Amino acid sequence: MIGMLRGKLLEKRPNQVLVDVAGVGYQVQIPLSTFAGLGMLHQETTLLIHTHLREDQLSLYGFLTAREKQCFELLISASGVGPSLGLKILSGMGMDDLIPAIRNNDLAQLVRIPGVGRKTAERIVLELRDKLAIVDVPVAGKPATRPQLEADVASALVNLGYDERAAEKAIEKARGAEAKDFEALLRGALQTLGSSAMPKTAHAVSGE
Least confidently predicted of 30-39, 119-128, 165-174: 165-174
DSSP SS3 for 114: coil
Q: pLDDT tens digits for 175-201?
A: 775 666 777 788 888 888 875 543 333
Topology of the domain covering 4-63: OB fold (Dihydrolipoamide Acetyltransferase, E2P) (2.40.50)
DSSP 175: -
Q: CA-CA distance, 111 to 121, in Å (whole number)?
A: 6
CA neighbor of 94 nearest in space, from 65, 118, 122: 65
131 Cβ contact list (under 8 Å, min separation 6) = 74, 77, 164
The pLDDT assigned to 147 comes to 62
- Residue range 9-52, pLDDT digits in tens: 999 998 999 999 999 999 999 998 899 888 899 999 999 999 99
Q: What is the pTM of this model?
A: 0.64
At residue 59, what are phi and psi to the nearest 5 degrees? -120, 145
**pLDDT value, residue 57:** 83
Mean pLDDT rounded to a whole number for the chain: 81
- B/e letters for 110-134, b = 16+ CB within 10 Å, e = fewer, are bbebeebeeebbeebbebbeeebbb
State the pLDDT at residue 178: 61
Domain 138-198: top CATH class: mainly alpha
pLDDT band at 75 (very low <50, low <70, confident <90, very high): very high
Name the CATH superfamily, with its identifier, for domain 66-133.
5' to 3' exonuclease, C-terminal subdomain (1.10.150.20)
What is the C-alpha separation between 79 and 56, in angstroms, rounded?
Answer: 21
Q: Domain coordinates of the chain in residue numbers?
A: 4-63, 66-133, 138-198
Return the exposure string of 160-184: e unless at least 16 CB atoms fall within 10 Å of the residue's CB, then b. Answer: eebebebbbebbeebeeeebeeeeb
